[in-house]
Structures are given as C-alpha cells and as structure tokens.
Amino acid sequence: MKKTILTIAMILGSLATGWCDSQPNIIPAPQKMQMGEGTFVVKKGLTIVSKDVKDFSANYLQDKLDDVFDFPIAVSAQAKAQGCITFATDKSLPQEGYRLDVTDAGITIVSADEAGKYYGVQTLLQLFPAEVYSGEHLRLKEYAIGALSVEDAPRFGYRGFMLDVSRTFFELEYLRNYIDWMSNHKLNRLHLHLTDDNGWRIEIKKYPELTGKGAWRGKNEVIPPTYLSGSERYGGYYTQKEMKELIAYAQKRNVMIIPEFDLPGHALSSTAVLKDVTCGTKTEKASACGEFDNVWCVGKESNYRIIDDIIKELADLFPSPYINIGGDEVVFDYWAQCPECQALMKKEGYEKAEELHGYFVKRMESIIAKHGKVMMGWDDIQDNGGLRPTSTVVAWRSQAKGLESIKHGQPTVMQTGDYLYLDMQYSSVERGHNWASIIPLDRMYSYEPYQDMQLTPEEEKLVIGVQAGLWTELMQFPPRFAEYQVYPRLCALAEIGWSAKEHKNYADFYSRMVNKHYDRLYAMGIAFRVEPPKVVYQDAQLKVTLPYPSAVVRYTMDGTEPTVTSPVVSGNIVTDAPQKFRFSTFFGRGLHSVAVGAENVELHRYLTPEVSVTSDIELQKNNKLETITTYNFSKMIRSKTKVKAGQTLTYTFKEPVACTTIHVPTGYATLPFYGVSDGYVEYSYDGVNFIKGEDFHHYHAYIRNLEAPVKAVRIVITDANDGWSCCFQNLKIE
C-alpha cells in the first residue's frame, strides 16, 4: 500500500488552509505520524489479539471499545489474518515507545514494554469518537479509521503532576480519576504532597496520632482551621491499605506515585502533633504561608529516629525509587536560638543557622539511602551544601534554580512556578494566585525545559523531566475547581513532556484541542476550564471574538451571569449601556466559562465617598487603615494575627451616602483567602445607632434595602478567622 508521508510539519501546513477533517488530533503530538491510504473498518467480529488474554492493556481497550460498539469484542490469543487489533513485542523499541499501524487489514500495536503498549492503546483511543472515554453506549455498528502509522516515544522519562492533598483532601476515587486522566495524556509521575502545615494525609502505623490528630483541622483540633475550612472539622487521610490499592491502580496505568513528606518546615501537621520535635523557641517571623512553630529541630538526635521510622514506612509502602522530603521555605530563626541547634552548629563549625539546613538535608539523604531510596526535594535542598549525585532536585523558584542544580550535576525536574504552577490564575478575571505569574494556556504551552540554559548534551540528560503542580489552598470551594485549574493546562504539560521540541506549535496544539480534545476531556467527565470570549466596545457596539470558531457564547443584558437559556451571540450588539452586558462560553451540558464584560468598559460604577476607618484590630506594620480609604480596589490591609471575637472595624463617611447596596468584601481581592470567617456587618444612618446586617458568608457580607443615606458601616468579629491574618478592603457601594 502506498503511503503519503505526513509529518507534523505538514499537518501544520495543512492548517493554514483550514481545519483538516482527517487530522487525528493526537495529544500529546506523536514523534512521527504517516497518514496512509484506505481505512480499517471496525465492525462485528473485531478481535483483540494478545498472547496473554489477561493482559491489562488488551482488556482495558476491550472495555473502552465495548462502550461505543453495538457488538461484543473478544480478547483472544489466536491470531487472525483480518479484522484484529494485534499486540506484539519488539524489544528494540525505546522505553515507553510504541508503533501503531492502521491498515485495511487491521491494527497493530508493537512495543518493548507494558508502558509502550498502554500508550499505543491511548493513541488508538484518540482515533475513535470522544465517547470512547465516557462509557456512553453509542451502539455504533461500524467505524472507519483512516490508515496511518505512528512511531512514538517520549521526549522525557519523567512527566509529572504534583498534587497537594494536604491543604485540600482528595478522596481516593478522585485520585483514581486523576490517574486515569494523567495516563490518557501519557503522564507518568504523580507526586503527592502528603504532608504540610494544614493536614497529614498518610497513615503511619508507628505514629497513629499523625493521622489521628494531624489529618484534621478545626476550632477544637490540634491543627487550627485554615483555607476556608472555617468552623467545620475538615480533613481525611489514606490508610496504607488504601494507598497500596491506589499504587497498584496507578502502576497498571504506568503512573508512579512519589510521596512527599515535607521537612523540616511546612510541617505543622507533625510538629503540632508529635511531642517535642520543635526547638521550642519563638520568632516574630511567620513562614511563607503564615504559620508558626512548624519547623522541626535539627539539633535533637531523637528527631532523626522519628523521621527514620516514618521514612521506613513510606519506603516500604511506595515502590517509587524516590522519597521527596520537601525542604522548602524553612524559617531558620527557631534554630538560631535553640540550645540543641546551637550545640550542633558549634560541633559542626557552622556560622549561620542556615548551614544546619544543609546538615539536615544530608541526614535525610543517608536515612533515605538506608531504606534503598533516592532523595528528592524542592530546589531549596541545594542552598546549603553539596548533595549526593543521585539526589534529585525539583526546580520551582526559577529556571535559574534548575540551571544551578544541573551545574551541580543533580538530576533535575523542572516545575517552575511562573510557567507550571496550576494554582495561578488563567487570566486577571479568574480566581487563583498570581504571585508567580498569570498563566494562560499558551503561556504554559510555551514552557521549554532547557530555556535559557545553554547545556551540553551531557547536562541536558540531567533534566529528567517536567511537571506541573497544583497547590490547593483555594481548591475546597467551589466544588471541582481543582479540575478547572488543571485542565486544559495539563494537556499542554503533556505535550511539553512527551513531544519533540521541533513539533511544538501552539496554533497546531490549540487546533487539536478545539477539533477534538475538548470533546475528549468532556467525555472523560473533567470539569475543565472553558475559555471566555473577548469582548470590546467600539463604535457603540459590543464586538465579541469567539475563543474558537464553533464556540457557543451566550449573554445577558442585566449584569447577571449568562445561563444555558440566555441568548446566543450572533454578530455585534448595538447598545449605549455596555456595562450591563455579560458573556460566557458554554460547552456541552453544564460547563461554561467565567462571565466577562467588555474589556474596555468599567463594569461596576461604585461610589467612592470620603471615609475614615477605625479599628481595635492590630495591623501589620506596613498596612495602614488610611489605605483602605483610597478606593483602590486592589489594595487591602492585613491584621497582624488572627482577629478575635468582639473586635470591630468601622468605616465612617464624612457625609451620609445615598445608596442601595453596600458589599463588604474581606480577604484577598481575587481569592477566598484571609477573610472574616465568623462575623456580621452593621450599618448606621446617624453614626450612633447601628442596625445588624448580614452575616459573613465565604468572607463577604452585604447590606441591602437601605432606606436613607448611610453614615457608617461596621464589621463585627464573632470568632477567630481561619487564616493567620485577616484582610480588609474598600467597601463596594452602589
């Protein structure tokens, strides 16, 4: 059969003339793909041929195809000349690689290993209708697949996703979904951030209190409430038995689970629970996440015995060659005043407390090596002294930190925050952090692991791979927001990790997303982020640019969020009230983008009367109450500690303000972070007598149905907030 060679570059060429229907839209893009002539028609009688009829990939494929076809599909060890999907082995193929051939006669998947076989199946599934992932019974009688030949293998061996299960606890079922979705994208490393200040998530048999107490946060718990957990007792953990099941589930799908036990900082869930593991000294300096007393003492020999016990259990439980000990963002002040840490400094001849961090990391290396594993940690582990050659660094602070690690000769995984942190906002109008960067899909896609590095071929090999990470301080609410943050950005990461650098092209990737892959994500059941339209107001018209040609954008004219029954945009909208319009892109049944207005129109016209603010809440040094009166909505002020019951903050207007609604936001402007958990608002027409308004809900409270001009508004705290600090903002007066 004559084959036309169609490389990725040629697909790019064809894009210039429009979407190509015959394009298979594979994500991540394979290394080599040739389209052939003719088709293989899947129809009744199809057999999956595998020497081992119990083989996982063969049965997985059968299960998926059973859902879309109207006939039973057998797995058989008996080869046939026609009408089969045949698995074969070729030991000369690269690790995790495969060859997939579709001809008139049948389909073959050849690989050297189980992973390659599974990935051949994943590529094959992408040639079927998207419903192959949904378990929806299409009852197809036949389906034609265009002849093609794929030769494929990954660019990097380590293609990961990091999930923080400490700040938000994810049920096992949810983790299984994540493993499925990762493996559908040929991602193969799940780094579980199992411990942090706000929750301990893995059973340790020798120290049952780690999960007994450390897995729970709440008002009467050892771990205080944080991150919207409020007055709820929040938490959960995985038993070792459950984790074993999850590990086995992941292994079948070529996903290795790497455990992280974050030490010596980020450790309140162990330091608050275990006896005497901290120095017992105090500091004014909060950790990066605002915690205190969350650092293990490095001078107490007994601590190394406890850590050894815990690492032994982790090493026995997880087949991963790596144990990640975190090592990031340690406040050294505790060590600087601790007699035991000081004695150790003297003994080792150290001058600065941070040198103890290097000491601690070396002790971790030897404990981990004793249990037959390799140490992994955040790039902070290289800050204070040399590491063993096998110790593996995850570069998060910058590309330069990755380069430093490579120059030291360490195997390195790139997870730089400014491109690969999934807790960052997609855009300025969406929820999320932005301290590292705003990360739209194209920015994540543009990440190149060797960027700004100029490495020798030997040094290049030290970049073992790449991963994206989801920190979950903000993921408990709304439900499934984690999926929004992860997808579609993890599809981009998959391509960074798998596809050849020369084949990377965002326009091509985006066309594959739009032509087919969003349908696949939808069929997988992922609550992914739908891209909003771009809207501008020009010449008295709202001009809407769809995110892609087939997008369905709906709108409202009253400032509310569009729903599935709102009208669909078709053409420009003539209006003299552009600030009232909101637009959302809708996908399938139930997914939609954030609602946006025209980007060059001020959507809310809040009143900004002259106001003074008074409070008995102690504020941080650089945060002054006067800043709250400037009506700069990005400004906020922060308390020095948690607020307390009975404290108040009062806004008094110079002149009473005529208005209908006052919105009292607390916390960060774009994040549900550090706001009032328990409290209510009051308002006064005369500045003397106050009337109770609403209680705070998710850090916000409202005063509505005002009958006269308002002289003052007061926030009354009824219980401590659930973060270490509480933030206050301008009032939104309409």
Q: Which does 426 bind (CB under 5 to 8 A by kind): Zn ion, ligand ACM, none?
A: none
Q: Which residues contact 621 (CB under 8 A, 6 or more apart)?
A: none
From ligand ACM, Zn ion, none, which one binds at residue 309 (CB under 5 to 8 Å depending on kind)?
Answer: none
Burial of 91 (0-12, 13-18, 19+ CB in 10 A): exposed
Stretch that binds Zn ion, among 78-86, 271-279, 392-400, 726-734 (CB under 5 A): 271-279
In the complex, least distance from residue 293 CB atom to Zn ion, rounded to whole angstroms = 12
Residue closer to ligand ACM, measured from CB, 88 or 438: 438
If binding means CB under 5 A, how many residues of this protein chain bind Zn ion?
6
Residue entry with tokens 């389906």: 143
Nearer to ligand ACM, 207 or 360 (CB): 360
> Which of 132, 257, 279, 611 forms a contact with Zn ion (CB under 5 A)?
279
143 binds, among Zn ion, ligand ACM, none (CB under 5 to 8 A by kind): none
Q: Which of 538, 540, 544, 534 is nearest to 572 (CA)?
A: 544
DSSP 328-355: -S--THHHHH-HHHHHHHHHHT-SSTTH
Size of the chain in residues: 734
325 interacts with, out of ligand ACM, Zn ion, none, CB within 5 to 8 A per kind: none
Q: Closest separation between CB of residue 394 and ligand ACM, Å? A: 8
Q: How far is the CB of 726 from ligand ACM (least distance, A)?
A: 23
Partner whose footprint covers residue 187, from Zn ion, ligand ACM, none (CB < 5 to 8 Å by kind): none
Binding positions for ligand ACM, rule: CB under 6 A: 328-329, 378, 396
Can residue 277 be called a binding residue for Zn ion (CB under 5 A)?
A: no
State the pairing for strand pair 234-235/216-217.
Answer: antiparallel
- Contacts for 88 with CB less than 8 Å, ≥ 6 apart: 108, 109, 110
Nearer to ligand ACM (CB atom), residue 327 or residue 440 = 327
CB closer to ligand ACM, 350 vs 471: 471
Per-residue three-class SS string for 377-446: EEHHHHCCCCCCCCCEEEECCCHHHHHHHHHCCCCEEECCHHHHECCECCCCCCCCECCCCCCCHHHHHC
Dihedral of the CA atoms 322, 325, 326, 329 (nearest 10)? -150
Please give the order of strands across the beta sheet that includes 662-665.
700-703, 662-665, 732-733
Does residue 469 interact with Zn ion by CB under 5 A?
Answer: no
Partner touching 329 among Zn ion, ligand ACM, none, CB below 5 to 8 Å by kind: ligand ACM
Beta-strand relationship, 189-193 and 158-164? parallel
Binding marks (x or -) toward Zn ion, 284..323, rule CB under 5 A? Answer: -------------x-x------------------------
The H or E element spanning position 9 is helix 8-15
Helix (H, G, I), strand (E, B) or coil at 15: helix
Determine the angle formed by the axes of helices 355-370 and 339-348, rounding to 10 degrees. Answer: 90
Q: Taking CB within 5 to 8 Å according to partner kind, which of ligand ACM, Zn ion, none is near residue 338?
A: Zn ion
What is the C-alpha to C-alpha distance for residues 412 and 38, in angstroms, rounded to an integer?
45
Based on CB atoms, which residue is closest to ligand ACM, 378 or 487?
378
| CB-nearer residue toward Zn ion: 297 or 535 | 297
179 binds Zn ion per the rule CB under 5 A: no
207/246 Cα distance (integer angstroms): 22
Residue 130 interacting with Zn ion (CB under 5 A):
no
Nearer to ligand ACM among residue 360 and residue 378 (C-beta) = 378
DSSP 8-state assignment for residue 650: E
Segment near Zn ion (CB under 5 A); pick from 133-141, 336-344, 644-652, 656-664: 336-344
Quote the least distance from Cβ 378 to ligand ACM, whole Å. Answer: 4
27 lies in the site for Zn ion, by CB under 5 A: no
Q: Which residues bind Zn ion (CB under 5 A)?
A: 279, 297, 299, 338, 340-341
